[in-house]
Amino acid sequence: MTKIVSFLIVLAMIVQVIRPFDVPGFRKRADAWKLVLVGIALVLVTAVIRPD
**Given pLDDT bands bounded at 50, 70 and 90, which one contains residue 52?**
low
**Given pLDDT bands bounded at 50, 70 and 90, which one contains residue 1?**
low
Of the candidates 17, 35, 15, the one whose C-alpha atom is nearest the C-alpha of residue 25 is 35
Residues in contact with 2: Cβ distance below 8 Å, sequence separation at least 6, in sequence order: 43, 46, 47
Mean pLDDT of 24-47: 82
Whole-structure pTM value: 0.66
Domain ranges of the chain: 2-49
Mean pLDDT of 41-51: 84
